[in-house]
A = this chain, B = another copy of it.
Amino acid sequence: MQKSKIRNMQEFSALTGLSRPTVSKYFHDPESVRQSTRARIESALAEHDFRPNIYAINQNRSLTKNVGIVVPYLADPFFAELARQIEQCCLERGYRPTLFSAHGDPKLETDILDNLRSLKPAGVLLAPLGRASDRKAIEAFCADVPTVLFDSGIEDVGLAFIGSDSPQFADLMVDYLCRTGELPCFFEMKTPSNPNANRRRAGYIAAMERLGHVPRIVSVPGTGWAFEDIGWREGIAAIDARAFETGTVLCSNDRLAIGFIRACFEKGLKVGRESSHDIRVAGMDDHPLARFTCPPLTTVAQDYDAIARQSVDVLFRAVSGETVSHEVRQFEGRLVLRDSA
Contacts and interface: CB of A to CB of B under 8 A. Distances in A.
Interface string A246-275: 000000000000110110010000000000
Contact of A51 (B83, B96, B117): B117
A53 to B, nearest CB: 4
Interface in A93-138: 96, 98-101, 103, 114-115, 117-119
B258 A289 contact: yes
Contacts of A3: 140
Interface of A: 3, 51-56, 58-59, 74-75, 77, 80-81, 83-84, 87-88, 96, 98-101, 103, 114-115, 117-119, 140, 228-229, 232, 258-259, 261-262, 265, 288-289, 291-296
A207 B124 CA distance: 51
A101 B228 CA distance: 25
Contacts of A288: 75
Given A74-B83, A265-B294, 5 more contacts: A51-B117, A75-B84, A88-B103, A98-B98, A258-B292
Which secondary structure dominates chain A's binding surface? helix
Contact of A103 (B56, B87, B261): B87
A289 B56 contact: no
A254 to B, nearest CB: 11
A261 B52 CA distance: 49
A119 B295 CA distance: 47
Contact of A84 (B51, B54, B58, B74): B74
9 contacts: A55-B59, A74-B84, A75-B77, A77-B80, A232-B292, A261-B294, A262-B291, A262-B292, A294-B294
A173 to B, nearest CB: 21
Contact of A59 (B59, B74, B295): B59
B265 A55 contact: no
Contact of A99 (B54, B84, B101): B101
A61 to B, nearest CB: 12
Nearest to A294: B265
Nearest to A231: B292
B59 A262 contact: no
Contacts of A261: 292, 294
Given A74-B74, A258-B289, A292-B232, A84 B55 contact: no
B59 A294 contact: no
A89 to B, nearest CB: 12
Contacts of A52: 118
A77 B51 CA distance: 33
Given A103-B87, A295-B265, A118 B74 contact: no
A325 to B, nearest CB: 23
Nearest to A116: B54
A98 B114 CA distance: 14
10 closest Cβ pairs, A-B complex = A265-B294, A54-B118, A75-B80, A53-B118, A294-B294, A55-B55, A262-B292, A228-B292, A75-B84, A75-B81
